[in-house]
Amino acid sequence: MSQILLVDDDASFLCVYSEILETNGHTVQTATSGQACLDLLQKEFFEIVVIDMLMPEMNGIELLRHLRHDYPHMMVLVLTGEGSISNAVEAMELGAFTYMVKPVEIETLLHNIRRAEEFYRLSSENTSLRSKLSHRDTSPTLVGHSSYIRNMIEDIQQIAPASSSVLITGESGTGKEVIVDMIHSASPRCKGPLVKVNCGALSESLLESELFGYEKGAFTGATARKIGYFELSSGGTLFLDEIGDLPLHLQHKLLRVLQEKCFARVGSTKSIYSDFRLICATNKDLKEEISAGSFREDLYYRLNVIRLITSPLREHPEDIPDLVQHFLTFYAQEMNKKPVELLPAAMELLQQYSWPGNVREVKNLCERLMVFARGGCVDADAIRTRLGEDCGKPAEEPSGTLRDADDQFQASFLAKRLEEQHWNISRTAQLLGISRKTLQLKIKQYQLKPL
């Protein structure tokens, strides 16, 4: 439960509502003026402050400006009279969490306190994580210098300012979650929450209650109201990973939420509005899932407003040295060890390897290398030991004639590059160093089509 400060010049209000909040498990203190509030905050810590808009000497707006400047992470709830809604709107623009009209109902106050608690907890976790990442100089970013990495970063910079839904597809371990972090961090919603949900890691019933939240008594075991991820992500970003694993009946409900931006908690009929940006990711081919009847076509088109396709590491091996150096440095700091250096033969083996686990496998390998590091250098034998028998084996060659192999490679290569550039013919041709007409002929020759 929270440490709450009630600020109001009405002594009877403070007496009644502080008792109500304490009965519900909160620790409550009161202040009868804005200055008394500021004086108390210099001595004690509070997660939540509830302030009245209409107070003598220092009104609620003036007090809110002080709180936002000196205590930016504090949750501030404002109280206003029916005739002063404009003050409440101004307060929301200044960063208040929410407002309530006096006389406020007890259930409404308790509900908004719970919302503020959840938001504060989530915000604190994100702030702590960002602080750790900043300290270690490992803010989420794509590592490498290939054209793929450069183009992806450019796309992220263009996508971030919008609120459009984003669908990220690609093999497991190709950095989809890092891309989500980068989009959120570069967006106007960066100060809001980034809520991440793995749709494949939760049971169907649990996933629904986690997304929508539920009311007390909605089902066996629901002993208290729970705020769901849709509600928690309001003002920020909601990331649904493994969206291809979302059960069909929840796909229909998600579509409704995206269309209306409203939903109801499990066990309630009251509509709740939530302003979140949705980003989804999957390693499945959703077109195939649609054909198989396991994914809704209408939801696919709702999600697929902006499409990003991650490339497997084997298609941009020039980024391997950068990734290895990045992760070795990270784990050296993590384990308080001296950094190690890969000998040329060891790096050559890494660049020959096919990396079925993609960037995640590189990260895991670097962690193992640092755990077992005994000296300042890593040789080829150490790489073979850690990667196993497949290390250094050439990739499986395509069957058929040399002409067949060349056609197979060109078709696959062109399809990937076109998808990366969202089928912008001119831009893709320029990157490939060929004319627009030549690229169009190749597309026709290999019967390439957008996914």
DSSP-based three-state secondary structure for 79: strand
- Structure tokens given for 326: 């990045």
Summary mean pLDDT of the chain: 85
Residue 71 lies in a domain: yes
**Residues sharing a CB contact under 8 Å with residue 435, sequence separation 6 or more, in sequence order:** 429
How many CB atoms are closer than 10 A to CB 36? 15
Q: Are residues 157 and 277 in the same domain?
A: yes
Alpha-carbon torsion (204, 205, 209, 212), positive or negative: positive
Domain boundary residue, one of 342, 364, 387: 387
Q: How far is CA 372 from CA 285, 333, 334, 342, in A?
A: 38, 15, 14, 14
> In this structure, which amino acid lies at residue 412?
S
Looking at residue 80, what is its pLDDT? 85
Specify whether 181 is located in the same domain as 270: yes
Q: In the predicted model, what is the mean pLDDT of residues 212-216?
A: 89
Is residue 292 domain-shared with residue 154, that is, in the same domain? yes
Query: At 324, which CATH number?
Result: 1.10.8.60
> 294 and 163 in one domain?
yes
Q: What are phi and psi of 55, to 5 degrees?
A: -135, 150
Rounded to whole angstroms, the Cα distance separating 64 from 77 reads: 10
What is the arithmetic mean of pLDDT over 132-156?
A: 75
Q: Is the pTM of this model over 0.95?
A: no
- Between the alpha carbon of residue 332 and those of residues 364, 369, 370, 371, the distances in Å are 13, 10, 7, 9
Coil vs helix vs strand at 339: coil
Decide which of 387, 415, 437 is a domain's last residue.
387
Q: Are residues 318 and 300 in the same domain?
A: no
Q: Tell whether 105 and 167 lie within a shared domain.
A: no
Tokens coding 202: 């939760």
pLDDT of residue 219: 84
- Shared domain for 249 and 327, answered yes or no, is no
Q: Is residue 10 part of a domain?
A: yes
For residue 11, the tally of other CB atoms under 10 A from its CB is 10
Q: Is residue 131 part of a domain?
A: no
95 and 243 share one domain: no
The domain that holds 427 is classified in CATH as: 1.10.10
The residue range of the domain holding 422 is 402-445
Residue 450 lies in a domain: no
Q: Any idea what the CATH number is for the domain that residue 155 is in? A: 3.40.50.300
Cβ within 8 Å of residue 271, ≥6 positions away? 262, 263, 264
- Alpha carbon distance 289, 133 (integer Å): 37
User: Could you give phi then psi for residue 396, rounded to 5 degrees?
Assistant: -65, 130
Which domain CATH number covers 65?
A: 3.40.50.2300
What pLDDT was estimated at residue 388? Answer: 65
The reply to whether 394 falls in a domain is no
State how far the alpha carbon of 187 is from the alpha carbons of 4, 109, 181, 237, 278, in Å. Answer: 31, 31, 10, 9, 13
d(C-alpha 167, C-alpha 304), whole Å: 5
Question: Is residue 393 in some structural domain?
Answer: no
Cβ contact 7:51 at 8 Å: yes
Domain assignment present for residue 45? The answer is yes
Say if residue 67 is in the same domain as residue 109: yes
Is 198 part of a structural domain of the chain?
Answer: yes
First to last CA, the chain: 49
Residue 180 pLDDT grade (very low, low, confident, very high; cuts 50, 70, 90) = very high
| Domains held by the chain: number | 4
pLDDT on residue 138:
43
55 and 88 share one domain:
yes
- Which tens digit of pLDDT belongs to each residue from 398-422? 556 666 666 777 787 788 778 777 7
244 and 264 both lie in a single domain: yes
For residue 269, give the H/E element and its range: none
**Residue 158: CB partners within 8 Å, gap ≥ 6?**
none
Per-residue confidence (pLDDT) for residue 73, from 0 to 100:
76
Q: For residue 166, what are the β-bridge partners?
A: 279, 306
Based on the domain organization, do 223 and 284 belong to the same domain?
A: yes
What is the residue-wise DSSP string for 133-160? HHHHT--S-----SHHHHHHHHHHHHHT
pLDDT digits (tens, 9 = 90+) for 249-263: 999 999 999 998 899
Q: Are strands 226-227 and 213-214 parallel, antiparallel or unpaired?
A: antiparallel
Looking at residue 304, what is its pLDDT?
94
Question: At 272, phi and psi to the nearest 5?
Answer: -120, 130
209: exposed, middle or buried (C-beta count within 10 Å: 0-12, 13-18, 19+)? Answer: buried
Residue 83: per-residue pLDDT: 66
The pLDDT of residue 412: 75
Percent of the chain with pLDDT strictly greater than 90: 41
Q: Tell me the average pLDDT across 86-93.
A: 79
The pLDDT tens digits for 267-311 are 988 888 989 999 999 999 999 999 999 999 999 999 999 999 999
Burial of 203 (0-12, 13-18, 19+ CB in 10 A): exposed
